[in-house]
Amino acid sequence: MPSSDPKQEFKLLCPAPITSEECIVLAHGGGGRMTSRLIDDVFAPAFDNPYLAARHDSAVLPTGACTGSRPRIAFTTDSYVVQPLIFPGGDIGTLAVNGTVNDLAMAGARPRWLSAAFILEEGLPISTLQHVVQSMRRAADIAQVQIVTGDTKVVDHGKGDGIFITTAGIGEIEHDLELGPAGVQNGDIVLLSGDIARHGTAVMLQREGLGLEGPTIASDCASVADAALSLIDAGIPVRCMRDLTRGGLATALVEIAVGSEKHIHIQEDKIPVQAEVQAACELLGFDPLYIANEGRFIAFVPLDRSDEALALLRQHKDCRDARAIGTVRDDRPGQVSMRSVFGANRLISMLSGEQLPRIC
């Protein structure tokens, strides 16, 4: 009901648009249906080329003059605008390194070099910048990558939200696998590297100052490169990998189902969610399937190698709770379905809006 006070201002909390899409809204950056539409309608027509058309986390490029040469490299870029800048389990610096490293790993590349560009707001404490930069250095050391070039710009107070960071990365591809949705086959098993929804939940609780009872929920922000590449190094014919950032597990699965023209069926009781994360989501009305992660990925592997792949993942510290959560079918191309804990099946789709803006 509208306020009787004409001075009372209301803020629209739902970032989904309610009118025509003549302007950018928050949902365009949420990784869901509106992000896809923006790419299809604006960016893809303007920049159309075969590398971009692959719609991968990274572009896979030849290194020689001949486009069919080997070895190949992966190249990716990403920007980070998270608020707050520092949150339980990480900060904008760890996000900037790990997010780019993980995108390279999802293309099957071994991350090697990063660039880092900073947009700093006038008035930012130098101590905050030092904290972020040192976090980046530690994350880069863990991921065994070097930050080899960069740029810095400063904008007027009130126009930069503290820090924005853009990172780009290059990785080396040392195998002949062609990873992507097109490689997914009937009968493949979907592996999930660990529990979901911690990053987005941690950022949201910190941002809103919500002190829930129980253990502090910390972001899962971490490099997944070692775990992902261990599957390839072991000779497992991985079909496709995707890290679960904006839009969460649900969006990643839908994108792969559409790209592969396969039906992906998952089981809710196989998807690990920490009890405190589940409680926070239920209290606030969020679905863990759509909440962003920054240290989780899915991998599609053949059935006969799935047990081996799962065992390999569980050898890594951040993947000890890895699970097999579903299978690939061909009966309903382009769809994702889930068997709930109550035994009912439901379709999983992309969100039109965005549950949690500004979480990466």
Last residue of a domain, one of 150, 173, 196: 173
> Residues 6 or more apart from 356 whose CB is under 8 A from it?
200, 203, 204, 286, 291, 292
Indicate which CATH number applies to the domain containing 286: 3.90.650.10
**Digit-coded pLDDT (tens) for 98-151:** 999 999 999 999 999 999 999 999 999 999 999 999 999 999 999 999 999 999
* pLDDT value at residue 215: 86
Lowest mean pLDDT among 56-70, 128-142, 143-157, 208-222: 56-70
Structural domain boundaries enclosing 149: 60-173
Judge contact between 340 and 266, C-beta under 8 A: no
Nearest-CA neighbor of 277 among 296, 294, 291, 298? Answer: 291
Whether residue 324 lies inside any domain: the answer is yes
The answer as to whether 66 is a domain residue is yes
Whether residue 33 has pLDDT greater than 90: no
236 and 302 within one domain? yes
Contact between 241 and 229 (Cβ < 8 Å):
no
Within-domain flag for 360: no
| CATH classification of the domain holding 145 | 3.30.1330.10
Residue 354's pLDDT band, with cuts at 50, 70 and 90, is low
pLDDT of residue 44: 80
Q: Are residues 202 and 325 in the same domain?
A: yes
pLDDT of residue 21: 55
**Residue 21 included in any domain:** no
The per-residue pLDDT for 180 is: 95
- In the predicted structure, residue 87 carries a pLDDT above the cut 70: yes
Direct distance between the N- and C-terminal alpha carbons of the chain, in angstroms, rounded to an integer: 33
Residue 11 lies in a domain: no
Determine what percent of the chain is predicted with pLDDT higher than 90: 74
Q: Tell whether 256 and 143 lie within a shared domain.
A: no
Residues 230 and 143 in one domain: no
DSSP assignment string, 42-111: IIHHHH--HHHHT--SSEEEESSSSTT-SSEEEEEEEEE--SSSEETTEEHHHHHHHHHHHHHHHTT-EE
187 and 213 both lie in a single domain:
yes
Residues 279 and 315 in one domain: yes
In a domain, 31, yes or no: no
- Please tell me the predicted confidence (pLDDT) of residue 70: 65
User: Which of 138, 173, 208 is the C-terminal boundary of a domain?
Assistant: 173
Q: 213 with 153, same domain?
A: no
Residue 40 lies in a domain: no
Last residue of a domain, one of 173, 202, 231: 173
66 with 152, same domain?
Answer: yes
Measure the CA–CA gap between 166 and 168, rounded to whole angstroms: 7
In a domain, 112, yes or no: yes
Total number of domains constituting the chain: 2
- 325 in Cβ contact with 288 (< 8 Å): no
